Amino acid sequence: MAPRPKRPWTGPSREIVALGIAALAITHHVHRAWSDGGNVFVLHDLHDFNRFSSRGDDMAWMNKSRSLLGFDIMPGIMPLARTGSPRSHFDWAAPQPGVIAQPGATGFMADPLGFVVDPMRRGLLYAQDEWGLRTDLYEALVLQAATDTLAGARSTVGVSRLNLRSDLLVFRDPGVGMGRLTFQIRSNATMPGGASMSASVGAASALDEVQSTFDNQLVRLAWSQSFFNDRWMVSIGKLNPSDYVADNIFANDESRQFLAQPFDGNSTWPVTFQDKCEGVGTIAIPTDWLFLSGYAVSAAGVNDAWLDLSLGDGYAVAGEVGLLAEFDGRPCRVSWAWCGTDANATSVEQGVDGAWGTCQAVTAQMLPLPQMGAWFQWSQADADVASGATHELALGLTIDDCFERRGDGFGLAIARTEPVGTDVQTQWLTEAYYRFQVNGSLQLTLDAQLLAPSASELVDDPVLVGGVRAVWRF
């Protein structure tokens, strides 16, 4: 085949276990609210447990392991229903310069909107102390620009998200477990409407996981309850399936970590993994070195921004088995996951069952240093059910509190993606970001993504996508 003419660039038992591999997921064919924004509290809990917990303590080990797996029992929070424990004496006059999840991250300057933020944050903290209601409230804005695009496509895209997540700790039974009600809702916008950076540059993966096609969406509405001294948890309701299988705590939060789909999930697993679905999810740590997890969900909710209890349009079942180990007092894991489904993007859009297909994933994570997460992901899916690719491999580093600056963060990752289709090529994507904690409320992140090459041959290589991300968090 003759070479195509080049177009000019357009501007803008706790033995040490070694590393492994992994996979999460998110869809390319149907652009939705793929990712979930992670659980910012769980990652900070992990770092705190590693920082303050002693080695050789079984309870400390369980706390670290649960946090690494995203098994959230809301540690340190008193439940709504409690007896024998006096209510806290909340100090309304105490300043609250840092966010609820990380109060020590106050940045390098005072918050000019502190006179507005402080009272709101105090109110949220009062609800947490008095009623067990933990809240993550933030506004995110992402602006991206590409050096080259498909003919006629936009080279700049803007995305915004307003997110509210509340977890109500209803009860805690010491030695048994806890009960939690989770509610999460979002309002989303894309500027201009319908624009997509991944479509503009011919990428096989979403390049901005903050983006959603739903103007407003119920992200989660679920009851979770743990048993056997918080070793087994079951959730039922509208779920994010990736909370339970192939979760990567070092890359699953697009508001603070990586923006691109191969890192914040993956590009292979089906729509029932990529989006929010009604069903049941579970995770268990039966021994100190073994964990099991899984879900069974309906595909009916994939196209519904709210609740769809018809339980039709296909289904998916998934399970994961993993090993836990200790590295210098810090937890690490390696796991294998499998999913079977009869739903894909086409079958869900048309409201019919699709062809049966399976997928699998391997995930590995460790903390070589106290604030550094190293991870490796691999995922595969049958072409009939794959989202945007049949195979994907990714690895990276995530560092929190860089240079001893609380709230700052750095990430670097690379992924190889084999897209679905015939007129495409293997895609290589590298992403790097640095997150600045400007003040107690604002984080500003500079992000660079390099496609070399993109999945499409119609864009010049390499394609550089630069991004700026601003997140205001209470």
How many CB atoms neighbour CB 31 within 10 A?
18
Report which of residues 427 and 35 the model is more confident about.
Answer: 427
pLDDT tops 50 at residue 28: no
Question: Within a domain: residue 18?
Answer: no
Is 17 contained in some domain? no
pLDDT of the residue at 382: 95
What pLDDT does residue 251 have? 96
- pLDDT class of 360 with cuts at 50, 70, 90: very high
216: its two tokens: 């407003």
Establish if 416 belongs to a structural domain.
yes
Lowest-confidence region among 26-30, 262-266, 380-384: 26-30
Domain range enclosing 198:
40-473
Split at pLDDT 50, 70, 90, the class of 85 is low
- pLDDT-based confidence at residue 310 (cuts at 50, 70, 90): confident
In sequence order, what DSSP letters do the residues of 414-452 get, joined into one string?
A: EEEEEESSSS---EEEEEEEEEEE-BSSEEEEEEEEEES
DSSP lists the bridge partners of residue 186 as 163, 217
According to the model, what pLDDT value does residue 38 have?
Answer: 72
> For residue 456, is pLDDT > 70?
yes
pLDDT value at residue 221: 97
pLDDT recorded at residue 424: 92
Model pLDDT, residue 10: 36
How confident is the prediction for the chain on average, in pLDDT? 88
pLDDT at residue 3 greater than cutoff 50: no
- Mean pLDDT, rounded, for 46-65: 85
Q: What is the per-residue pLDDT across 378-392, written as a single tens digit (0 to 9) for each?
A: 999 999 999 999 999
Task: Note the pLDDT of residue 54.
Answer: 66
Q: Is residue 28 part of a domain?
A: no
* Antiparallel, parallel or unpaired: β 409-419 and 389-400: antiparallel
pTM: 0.89
Average pLDDT over every residue of 280-294: 97
Q: Token pair for residue 98?
A: 């840092």
Query: What was the pLDDT predicted at 56?
Result: 67
Q: Are strands 442-451 and 427-437 parallel, antiparallel or unpaired?
A: antiparallel
- pLDDT attached to residue 109: 94
24: in domain: no
List pLDDT tens digits, range 205-258: 999 999 988 999 999 999 999 999 999 999 999 999 999 999 999 999 999 999
- Compute the distance between CA of residue 199 and CA of residue 1 in angstroms, rounded to an integer: 25
Which burial class, exposed, middle or buried, applies to 115 when counting CB atoms under 10 A from its CB (0-12, 13-18, 19+)? exposed
Residue 124: per-residue pLDDT: 94
Report the candidate in 216, 205, 214, 207 with the shortest Cα–Cα distance to residue 157: 207
For the segment 331-355, the average pLDDT, to the nearest whole number, is 86
Query: How much of the chain exceeds pLDDT 90, in percent?
Result: 71
371 CB-near residues (< 8 Å, 6+ apart) = 47, 399, 400, 401, 402
416: exposed, middle or buried (C-beta count within 10 Å: 0-12, 13-18, 19+)? middle
What CATH number is given to the structural domain containing 443?
A: 2.40.160.180
Q: What is the model's pLDDT at position 35?
A: 54
| pLDDT at 82 (0 to 100) | 79
Residues 256-271 have a mean pLDDT of 94
Asked if the structure places residue 433 within a domain, the reply is yes
Please name the residues in contact with 193: beta carbons below 8 A apart, sequence gap of 6 or more: none
> For 104-131, how does the pLDDT look when each residue is reduced to its tens digit (9 = 90+)?
999 999 999 988 899 999 999 999 999 9
| Mean pLDDT score, 299-323 | 87
Q: Is residue 14 part of a domain?
A: no
At residue 114, φ and ψ (nearest 5 deg) are: -60, -30
| Lowest-pLDDT choice from 36-50, 174-188, 191-205, 268-282 | 36-50
376 lies in a domain?
yes
For residue 396, how far is the Cα from the chain centroid?
15
Please give the pLDDT value at position 21.
25
- Tell me what pLDDT residue 414 has: 99
When divided into structural domains, the chain yields a total of 1
What is the mean pLDDT of the segment spanning 55-75?
90
